[in-house]
Structure 1
Amino acid sequence: MTQNAQHHAYHTVEQAQINLRGRFKEADISTYELDARVLTGFALSLDDIGLIKHASRSVTEQENKILEKVCLARLEGKPVSRIIGVKEFYSLPFHISPATLDPRPDSECLVDSALNAAEKLAKSKSKPLKVLDLGTGSGCLLIAFAHACKQRAIQVKGLGVDISANALRQARINAAINGVSDSVNFRQSDWFENVSSRFDIIISNPPYISSGEIEALAPEVSKYDSKTALDGGTDGLDAYRNIISNIMSFIQPGGCVLFEIGSEQAALVTNLVRQVIVTPPQVTISHVSDLSGLNRVVQVEFDINS
C-alpha cells in the first residue's frame, strides 16, 4: 500500500465514512455528507441499512484501495454519478456512460409536462399514444415518462432516437432495469433521419450550450459530460433549428411538442417556432419553469384541426 493510501487506511466501515466526509468537507464539496455515504456504500457494496448494520466491521486491504480510488476521483471533481455509474432521475435509477449526459433534476419538469399532455390526449384517443424522444441519450426522459404512464394506465408506444450507438445501448439497459421495454424502442438516427411516422407527443432535450461556453461550465459538466450532447453550435440553437424546421412532417393533429431549453432561451426558441409555423395550424406556445423558477420547457400544442 502506498504511503498516501496507508495514511488513509480505513479500519472500519464507520471510520471510512467519517474519513471521506472529513476530506470532502475540507475540499468544500457542499454535498460532503451525502457523497461520503454513497461512495462508502458503493466501495464496500453496502446499502444505507448495511452501512449502519455493519458500521463496526473491518475494512479489507482491497476495500481500502477501492475507497481511496473513489475518494480521489471525487476530490478531482468527478461527479458521484460518474464514479458509481448510476444516477437517480424521477425516482428511478439510470445507468450512465461517457456517451450520455448526467440526468439532472431540472429535466423532471419536462417529464411532468409530457405527462400532463398525455393525460389530456388519452381522453380523446383510444389507441396507444405515440411518443418520440429526439436525442434520447440515457433514455431518462422517455423511460421516466413511460414508467409514469404505466402507473396511470395510459397506454404509450415510445421511440427514442440518438446518433450515438453507445448512448442507445445504455438507454436499452435503462428501459429493462425500469420495466418499460415493452412500451419503448430505441433506434439510431440523426434527429428525424430514420424516423418515418407521426407522433402525438414529441419531446427533446437537445444540445443547447453555445460551443464557446462549454469549457467555462462547471468541471463536473465540461470534463465528464458528452461534448456531442452539450454542443448546440455557435449560438446554442442549431439542434432546435433542425428539429423545428421538420416538425410539421412528424406531429399528429392535436399533438404536443416539448423542448427542454437553457434558462435564457425561451424567447429564442419560441421565435424559431413562430418563424416555421406562420400559417394555420394554430399553435399554443407556453413556457414551463423548473424548480428554481427558471424557464426550462417550451411547450407547443397543435390545434386538433392542423
Structure 2
Amino acid sequence: MIMEGNPPGNPDPARQIGGLDPRAFCFRSFKEQTYRSAVTVLEGIQKSAGFLEKKGVDSPRLQAELLLAHVLKLPRMQLYLNFERILQPAEVDALRELVRRRGAREPLQHILGSTSFCGFELAVNRHVLVPRPETELLAEAGWQFLAQLNRPAVAMDLGTGSGCLAIAIAAKVPAARVIATDVSGEALDVARQNATRQGVHERIEFRHGRGFEPVAGNRFDLIISNPPYIPRAEIETLDPEVREFDPRPALDGGEDGLDAFREIAAEGSRHLAPGGRLMLEMGDGQGPAVRSLLEAQKWIVDEIRHDYTRRERIVIARRD
C-alpha cells in the first residue's frame, strides 16, 4: 500500500500451547505410538479441526482440510476419496506443525505461501497485505476501464504490495503497461516474483518510493490503489491474523483512516492523463468523507461501488 514496512514479529512458538504437550496437541486422544502409525486422513482432519475451533479459528474444518491437502500435495476434494488412508509419521508431524501455526492465528495464506486473486496464484508473506476478495472488484473496475479505451494505456498501481492489482490489470489488458510503486523494498521483491510467475513482468515496471515520488513527471490513464484506510485506534481490534501478521503501514490510515486519501486527492491530479480515472478502495463507512476530500480538490466522483456485502468499497473519480 502507500507505505509498507516490517510488521510485528512472529509470536514466540511456546513449548506449551493451551496446556497441551506440543508433540500431541492436535491428536490428544491418541497415544504417541498409536497416532504415529495409525492416524487416518479423516481422523487427522477431525482432530485438527477440533484444535483450531478451540483456538477461535473461523471455519476450522475447512482450514484443517486445506492444511492437510497442502501436506499431502492433493487437491482438497481428493481428501474425501482418501479418508481411510493412513498418514505416514512424517505427514503427521508436518500437519501437526501447520496446525500449531494456524492455531497461533498465523494466516492460512502465509502458511500455504500463496493466495488466489482474480484466478492468479500469488505468493504472500509478512511483507505484504494478503489480498482480500473485495479488492478483486477494484481490479476488475480497473481492467474494464482500460480495455474499453481500445488503445495502449498506462496505469499506476500506487502501493502495490503483493502486486495483485498490477498483475491482474496487465494480464487482463495486454495493451496496458503498469508502473507499480511501493515504499517497501521487501514488498516489491514479492511483487516482482509474482509478476514473473504470471508472465507479465515485461509490462510492469516496479519503482521504489513513497506516494507519487517515484513517478514524478509521469501521467497515467488509470491511477489505482488500495491504500491503508484503517483508523489507527481500530487496528488493535482487528483479528489476530490481520493485527499481528499484515504489515502495519499497509493498514494504518492515520487517526481517522483518511491520511492516504488526502495525499492522493491533493497530488493525484498532476499524474492523471486527460480522460483518465482514479480508482480507490476504501473502508466501511468512509464513502462520504472520501467523496468530500476528492471534491474539495476538484475531482468529479463518477461512482461509488459496493462490495459483496453491499458496503461502499470503491470510489471512481476523474478530472474535468
One-letter amino acid of the counterpart of residue 148, structure 1: K
Match of 2:316 in 1: 299
Q: What's the counterpart of residue 140 of structure 1?
A: 164
Determine the structure 2 residue equivalent to 1:233.
254
Q: 1:173 to 1:205 in 2, by over 3 A?
A: same
The CA deviation at 1:28 is 5.2
Task: Summarize deviations over 1:217-274 as a string: whole Å, max 9, x none.
Answer: 1111111111010111111111111122111210000000001000111111111111
Q: Which portions of structure 1, spanning 4 or more consecutive aligned residues, are displaced by more than 6 angstroms?
A: none
The alignment status of 1:201 with 2:222, answered yes or no, reads yes
Q: CA deviation at 1:115?
A: 2.2
**3-state DSSP of counterpart to 1:225:** coil
Distance 2:223 2:171 in 1: 17
Q: Identity percentage over the alignment?
A: 33
Farther off after superposition, 10-19 or 214-223: 10-19
Q: What is the distance in 1 between the residues matched to 2:185 and 2:193?
A: 13
Report the CA distance shift for 1:260/1:38 in structure 2 as closer, same or farther (over 3 A): same
Shift of 1:26: 5.0
Distance 1:214 1:25, change over 3 A: closer
Change (3 A) 1:248 1:292: same
2: CA distance between counterparts of 1:173 and 1:219? 27
Mapped contact 2:295–2:301 kept (Cα < 8 A): no
2:106 aligns with: 78
Higher relative contact order (CA 8 A, sep 6+): 2
Find the aligned partners of 1:26 and 1:213 in 2 and give their Cα distance. 25
Q: Which residue of 1 aligns with 2:270?
A: 249
Between the aligned partners of 2:155 and 2:102, the Cα distance in structure 1 is 37
Q: Does 1:258 align with 2:279?
A: yes
1:120 maps to 2:144: no
Q: Is 1:60 equivalent to 2:83 in the alignment?
A: no
Deviates more, 1:237-246 or 1:49-58: 49-58
Residue 51 of structure 1: how far off its partner (Å) = 3.3
C-alpha contact 1:157 1:184 (8 A) present in aligned 2: yes
1:235 match: secondary structure: coil
Question: Following TM superposition, by how much is the alpha carbon of 1:144 offset from its aligned partner in structure 2, in angstroms?
Answer: 1.6
SS of residue paired to 1:182: helix
Q: Which structure 2 residues correspond to residues 77-96 of structure 1 after superposition, within 5 A?
A: 77-96=105-124
After TM superposition, the score normalised by the length of structure 1 is: 0.88
Pairing of 1:249-288 with structure 2 (within 5 A) = 249-277=270-298, 283-288=300-305
Where does residue 210 of structure 1 map in the other structure?
A: 231
* Cα pair 2:294 2:300 within 8 Å, conserved: no
The unaligned stretches of length 5 or more in structure 2 are 1-20
- Whole-Å Cα distance in 2 between the matches of residues 286 and 3 of structure 1? 55
Letter in 1 for 2:231: S
Aligned to 1:178: 198
Shift of 1:61: 2.5
Question: TM-score with structure 2 length normalisation?
Answer: 0.84
- Name the counterpart of 1:168: 188
User: Which structure 1 residue ranges, 5 or more long, are not aligned?
Assistant: none
C-alpha contact (below 8 Å) 2:269/2:319 kept by paired residues: no
Q: Is the 8 A contact 2:57 2:105 kept in 1?
A: no
Looking at structure 2, the residues matched to 2 and 164 of structure 1 have their Cα atoms a distance apart, in angstroms, of 36
How far is 1:170 from its partner? 0.4
Deviation at 1:57, TM superposition (A): 4.1
Counterpart in 1 of 2:128? 100
